[in-house]
Every structure is written in C-alpha cells, then in structure tokens.
Structure 1
Amino acid sequence: MLDRRSLQDQLRRNRRDTGLILMAMALLMSLAGWLLAGGSGVVAALAAAGLALAVNPHNSVAMLRALYRAVPLPVAAAPGLWRGHAELCRRAGLAAVPPLLIIPSRAILALSTGWGRHCAVALSEGALALLPPDEVVAILAHEIAHIRAGDLKLLRLADAAGHLTHTLVAATLILLVFFWPDMMAANALPDLWVVGALVLAPVGCDLLRLSLSRTREFAADAGAAELCGSPEALISALTRLSRDHGTLSPLGWLRLVRTHPTTEERIVRLRNLAPPSFRLPEIVVLGGLPWLHR
C-alpha cells in the first residue's frame, strides 16, 4: 500500500524537473553554438547531441562488465532472486527481463546500464550477503526503475550536451584570442555579456548535469517504492548504508556537486510516500526471496 497521491505528486515533480533541466542544458549548448557559428552552430550542436543517442547501448553493458569484473548470475545459482527480478520487470512493463550480473566485491553495490533490450542489472556479492532479502529486492527495484525510465539515455544526452558546450566554448575563446588584435583595431570588441556567457556556460552545464542525476535518483526511489508496494524496505536499506558507512551530509553549495542526493533527502521523500498510520504488509518468503502482498 502506498499513498498514491504523494507518489503521483513526486513523479510529476521529477518529470517537470527533468524537462526543465534538459531544456536549460539545450539552451546553454545552443548559445555556445550560436556564439561560435550563428544559426548553423546551433543546428550542428543539436544534431551532434542527438547522435549521442544513436550509440549502441550494448556497449554500456560491456563496459560495466569490464569495469567491475561483473559476470552473469545463472538462474540456477539464485532462482528466488531471479523470480523476484522477473516479477519486478513484469510490474515495470519491461519488454524483456534484463540479465542479472554479479560483481565480485564485498562492498554493497547495485548498478544498472543500458535501455531497451540492451540493458543489465548488477548486484555485488556484498549486497547479497549483507542485506536482508527485502532490502535486496528494494535496491533491485530501484535499478529496474532506472531502466524503465531510460535514465541512461537521458544522462548520456546530458553528457553529450555538456561535452559539446565545453568544446564549443573552448573553440570560441581560441578564436577570440586569435582575432582580438583585429577586433581592437576595428573597435569591435565583444560585449561583456558575451564573454560572461562563454565563461559561465560550461560551469552551468556541469551543474545542470549533476542536478539531472540527482533528480533521476529521486525518481528511481519513487519508482522502486511503486514496484515493491511500499517504501519501507528501501528506507531500511538506505538507513543501513548510512549507518554502516558513516556517510556525511555535505553543507550548502557542496550539495550542488553531488551526483546523488543525500541519504537524508532520499529518506524524507520516501517517507512521504507512506501515511504515518500505514501498517507494513506481511512479508512472505518464497524460495529465499521475500515478496509483499498487494
């Protein structure tokens, strides 16, 4: 059971924030293209960002396996986990069940990558060994929510916009330095707002990219609560991680340079999804995997 109104409010808020951030990044990238080459620069920048989405997402799965030494988890090795994984994917409406990978690490890790039919979810040995089964289900649901939303696609688009903005601004500044003597002689120096935009556009794009990442984490938390039927298991997992690893909340502007929201912020939003009088549903263990009665 969930507070459906609060869930829908959070989902709408996350969609709105995502749209605004992507629009702001597109404007900064377009501004950098316009300052370099006018209208043709804007068209070229937008086209290049779009091409970033054409890259085969299968490459991201191979990269995850290479970076984390992740290997496929056979169904026979964890049938209960696989049944729960398949059920979460069914609830999420995924066209296919992504492969499960295992990361040989004692740290608690959960990762997802790709979109469409080229995606995968990875859990570490530490996550399976140290977390109770219901919390494993919750973090698995969080990763599946990322896949359902196509978050890697959004973040890849944001990365492309950020890199293009940096490149366009650098090229424009090089041209300004090269032609500065001629512009001085012709009394045609650029306005201060142009110089300021060139300096601030890459910084603004980087901050927006980080903000998008945090927004998508909030969205995945809400999606996980929806898939599990309750936010409590994910709250428990986050609380455990915060306690075990002693995570500190950054102060003030330092929060702007994080890829993830603070644990406290995530827990507050998750608690808003369940009314105070909510009684936890009975947890039934099936083949070593808990599931929640709906």
Structure 2
Amino acid sequence: MRAFFDRQAEARRQTRRLLVLFGLMVAAVVAAVNGALALAWRLMAGGGWLGYPRFFFEVNTGVTLLFVLGGWWLESNTLRHEGGAALARRLGARPAREADFDERRLVHVVREMALAAGMTPPAVMVIERDAAINAFATGWDERDAVVALTEGALRHLTRAELQGVVAHELSHIREGDTRLNMRLVGMVYGLEMLYRLGEQLMEPDARGRRHAGALIGLALRVAGWLGWVAGHALQAAVARQREFLADARAVQWTRQRDGLGRALRKVLGQRRGEGDAGDGPLPLPQARHLWLVSVPRDAWLPWFDPHPPLAQRIARLYGGTMPPLPPHDGLDAADEPVVPARPTPV
C-alpha cells in the first residue's frame, strides 16, 4: 500500500511540473507572436528598416494575452454555468432509476464509496445504449458533482469492480481534476481564438484580393496553431498524470487493487474482441479527459490522448503485466455488498 501513496505523491509532482510547463508554453506563444509580427512588419516595409510603431510589442503582448486569458474566462464560465448535470446530459447520461436493480446497486455503491472517501455523495447517472465499459465524473465541486457509468459497465462489472471504478471517479472530484482540466480547456480555447483571428485577417475581400494585413494574419495563424497543438499535448499530459493519481486513490479507498484492476482488464478484453463493446459515443472535445478510458477512435495520437495506455495502468496496479478478461468473468460469483473501511487521511 505504501507504493500507492508514493505514486500519489509522484503524480502530484508531475502535475505541478506540467502546469509550470503550460505557463511557459503560453509565454513562448507570446514571444512567437511578437517575433512573427515583427517579421511581418519588416516584410510589409519591403525588407528595409522601418521603425516599429510606438508600443508595438506591448500591444502585441496585451492582445495575445487578451485572447488566451479571455478565451479561458469565457469557456470556463460557460462550463461552470452549465453545471455538472447539464454537461453529463450533453454526454448522453440520464439520472439513475432506483426501480432498476442494476442502477439501484450503482446508487448504493456510489454512496458506500463516498462514505469511504469522506465525501458528499454525488448525483448518479447512467449512459444508455452504450455496451462499452466506461464512466466519467464531472462538476466543479462536490455540491455540483455527477458520477455516470455506461450500461455496459452496469451489465459487465461485479460489485467490487464497480467500487473500483466509482472510487476512481470520486478521486477526480475530490482532487479537483475536473475543475483543473476545464480551466486548461479554456486556455487551449484562447489559443484557438488567436488562430481564428489570423484566419479572418487572411480572408480575401469581396473582389478576391488580400490586403497587407494578410501577412499579420499568417503570423498569428502560425503562432496560434503551434500554441494550440502544444496546449493540447500539455493538457493531455496533465490529464494522464491525474489518471494515475485516481487509480492509486481507488486502491486506497477500496483497500484492494482487483476492483479497478479487473474492470480495466475487462475493458482490454472488450477491445480485443472478447465481448460486445463498440466505441461508445464520441465525446465532446472538452470532455475527453472526463472518461475512465479513452474512446478508441478518439485517441488517434498518443500525445493527445488524455489517458495512459490501458496496459500501462494495469501494470502499475499489479506490478506487472496481466492478461485481459472477458466482460462476463466473475459475474456468477457471490456479490454481497461490502462497505469499505474509512481510510487514513493522506
């Protein structure tokens, strides 16, 4: 168990380093914009020396930060205004129905794990018509929190496995991961706005002619695109570290690794054709990091995947390679409710 506490501390250290790197990336974008606009200004002057206008670099820096920080503020406030339940509904979830046996079991598991974590129980929702094993948590704080699981998870996971998955999602709420990632989404959105500004400046007029400002537009477009790519890569890197922390928290709160470990091995089994899976719904761009595991068709480049490889997560839980499991494995075993003991605070 001590190894898992060490991994929690390491995940937090890595996250802090990545956030510092994100800040440096924004500073690099500001420098790139200033450099690109200075070059564009020289080209507009025909290659000769033409002094820069007064406050040229100050204005460039201010406008760039306005777009990045303004985009962060607009997008973050939009997501905050919607709230956890509204975002969950956009992702295809609905409130759990306690009249249904599987959904009532899920509600009880969420309450048990919230008690073990010392948290207020979040709202419980279900993603219909999705055979893949997956889950997500959303909400800006515990009062706004939602935990949602797919119908595939309810059908294929035992109670112990559900406890592991729910504990993982509760960790994202407890550690503020959802709030952190939404803020990073806002900063990336600001970089995208910078790219779009450059795109608009490059558009020809009604007669199909481009004006001199097209060079400035090209400079902004290149700097904005590079920043957008770097921002998405860093955002995914932050999210991957938080996944490792949530996996370690799940082991801490359930007092055993097989719950989450077997659930992830069943996901691996589904993806290797040992059960009905499907890719599930394609997530909203701003919600990729919320899911327990990446949607396969969405994780097209490792740098932009907000989740570590499944095999790597499983190996960290077990201390070595483990084979996949078919989704129905263990479902015939006794599945009595067990309330985990309250863990020692970290």
Partner of 2:115 in structure 1? 90
For structure 2, the residue ranges without an aligned partner over 5 or more in a row are: 35-58, 203-209, 274-295, 321-332
Partner of 2:162 in structure 1? 136
Gap change, CA 1:205 and 1:181, over 3 Å in 2: closer
Query: 32, 39, 49: which is aligned to 2:72?
Result: 49
**Matched-pair contact (CA < 8 Å) for 1:25–1:161:** no
Q: Does 1:73 align with 2:70?
A: no
Q: Does 1:114 align with 2:125?
A: no
Q: Does 1:9 align with 2:18?
A: no
**Matched-pair contact (CA < 8 Å) for 1:29–1:164:** no
Aligned partners of 1:69, 1:196: CA distance in 2, in Å? 38
Q: Does 1:232 align with 2:243?
A: no
Q: Give the TM-score normalised by structure 1.
A: 0.75
Aligned partners of 1:182, 1:202: CA distance in 2, in Å? 20
For structure 1, the residue ranges without an aligned partner over 5 or more in a row are: 184-189, 274-284
Gap change, CA 1:51 and 1:27, over 3 Å in 2: farther
Gap change, CA 1:170 and 1:125, over 3 Å in 2: closer
Aligned partners of 1:115, 1:200: CA distance in 2, in Å? 29
How far does residue 152 in structure 1 lie from its aligned partner after superposition? 1.5
Aligned partners of 1:245, 1:83: CA distance in 2, in Å? 29
Q: Give the TM-score normalised by structure 2.
A: 0.65
Query: 229, 238, 243: which is aligned to 2:269?
Result: 243
Gap change, CA 1:173 and 1:289, over 3 Å in 2: same
Structure 2 residue identity aligned to 1:16: R
**Matched-pair contact (CA < 8 Å) for 1:151–1:216:** yes
* Higher Cα radius of gyration: 2
Render the CA deviation track for 1:212-260: whole Å, top value 9, x for unaligned. Answer: 222221121111111111222211111122123218x9xxx94223222
Aligned partners of 1:178, 1:272: CA distance in 2, in Å? 61
**Matched-pair contact (CA < 8 Å) for 1:30–1:41:** no
**Matched-pair contact (CA < 8 Å) for 2:71–2:189:** no
Report the more deviating stretch, 33-42 or 141-150.
33-42
How far does residue 107 in structure 1 lie from its aligned partner after superposition? 2.8
Percent identity between the two aligned chains:
26
Query: 299, 302, 307: which is aligned to 1:260?
Result: 307
Render the CA deviation track for 1:89-147: whole Å, top value 9, x for unaligned. Answer: 133232x2111112223332212111311111112232122112111111111111111
How far does residue 43 in structure 1 lie from its aligned partner after superposition? 4.9
Gap change, CA 1:256 and 1:97, over 3 Å in 2: same
Matches within 5 A, 1:84-233: 84-94=109-119, 96-105=120-129, 106-116=131-141, 117-172=143-198, 179=212, 199-233=225-259
Matches within 5 A, 1:56-67: 56=80, 58-67=82-91
Partner of 1:27 in structure 2? 24
